[in-house]
Amino acid sequence: MDNGGTLHLNGLFPNELGDWLEEQGQARYRGQQIFQWIHRHTTQDFSEMTNLPIALQNKLQEEFKAPLPLSLVTARVSKDGTEKYLFVLEDGATIETVLIPEAHRQTLCVSSQVGCAMNCSFCATGKSGYVRNLSAGEIVAQVLWVEHRLREEGLTLSNVVYMGMGEPLANYEAVVRSIRLLNDAQGLNLGARRITISTCGLVPQIRSLAKERIQVGLAISLHAVTDQSRSEVMPVNKRYPIAELLAAADDYAADTGRRVSFEYALIAGFNDDLHTAVKLKELLKNRLCHVNLIPINPVGTEQRPPEERIRDFARVLEDSGIQVSIRKERGTDIEAACGQLRQSMLEE
């Protein structure tokens, strides 16, 4: 029922919970109640599900141990307010989740895999290799855990981005299921427009996602303007070169009516010169898109370009009418770059 054959209670929809309850000789409608406790009320303890009979609370406790299949190992808070959580899953694997608080919104960056097989050269997760896919329940649990914590402060999550560890579209079924769970009107009811999936560029899955009719935002990591240089930092480009990727992005925008965002990590001396900015402008002009420039959090030998260079690069794109934003540096003091905290804990 859930990804990888693992049944996680919070990865099931009300009707599936109803099926399981019926098998246990329980009333089917309790499935809806359990779903609402977990997803709408973010309850983390079966004993708080007060409209369930005590016997059923005990049964759930016996079978599943907890409503969410993860627990916190450590949390770090940056000077700028960014919070990074390291969670341990039931099999002992660890994942990272990052909360980015701003004045009027709370954005959560979730992981979709333990590790990642895509091997992008600038990424700490890529360097540590692939372990396994997360189940839909494990993805949603990150959101529910943080939402529960925020509510204690009178806040609520406004956006969820699939930009943490892993390539979301390489774990397609669980990711789509997790989005539908977050969307569910009986649960968190988080609008698909508040959800963004970030991909390194898996073309067939981008095309499938467009057909799901769930209208999530799509962010594509581009990072280079020629196939040769992109393949150097992102091996996925050898399978799906830039022209194919841009064609899939165009179709996604046409099918969903949503502007695609291109992520461009600025790496000093690699892709930050103005000649490259002009090439990027030529690649993207006349496309329904937005460019997000991300001055890189240093990992290994790659360095962040100076501020002036970042501004000049942005100006080349803006002058030709392309919408550009420059991502603010967040959480560098707490190893907020994807995979860094997990890596340093593994080393410890």
Point out the residues that are catalytic: 96, 338
Residue 166 engages ligand SF4 in binding (rule: CB under 6 A): yes
The CA distances from residue 10 to 7, 67, 269, 285, in Å, are 9, 6, 46, 43
Nearest distance, CB of residue 119 and ligand SF4, angstroms: 6
Q: How far is CA 226 from the centre of its chain?
A: 26
| E strand or H helix that includes residue 291 | strand 289-295
Nearest distance, CB of residue 45 and ligand SF4, angstroms: 33
CA dist., res. 247 & res. 224, Å (int): 16
Burial (CB count <10 Å: 0-12, 13-18, 19+), residue 154: exposed
Residue 338 engages ligand SF4 in binding (rule: CB under 6 A): yes
| Contact pattern for ligand SF4 over residues 184 through 213, marking x by CB under 6 A | ----------------x-------------
Pairing label, strands 106-109, 94-101: antiparallel
Which CB, 107 or 199, lies closer to ligand SF4? 199
Cβ pair 258, 217 in contact under 8 A: yes
Residue 120 engages ligand SF4 in binding (rule: CB under 6 A): yes
Residue 11 engages ligand SF4 in binding (rule: CB under 6 A): no
DSSP string, 183-246: H-TTTT---GGGEEEEES--HHHHHHHHHT----EEEEE---SSHHHHHHH-THHHHS-HHHHH
Nearest distance, CB of residue 190 and ligand SF4, angstroms: 22
Number of residues that bind ligand SF4 (CB under 6 A): 12
Q: Which stretch binds ligand SF4 (CB under 6 A): 89-97, 123-131, 241-249, 307-315?
A: 123-131
Residue 168 engages ligand SF4 in binding (rule: CB under 6 A): no
| Contact pattern for ligand SF4 over residues 21 through 60, marking x by CB under 6 A | ----------------------------------------
Nearest distance, CB of residue 234 and ligand SF4, angstroms: 7
Binding residue for ligand SF4, selected from 83, 167, 184, 272, defined by CB under 6 A = 167
By CB under 6 A, the residues from 90 to 119 that bind ligand SF4 are: 116, 118-119
**Which residues of the chain form contacts with ligand SF4 (CB under 6 A)?**
116, 118-120, 123, 125-126, 165-167, 200, 338
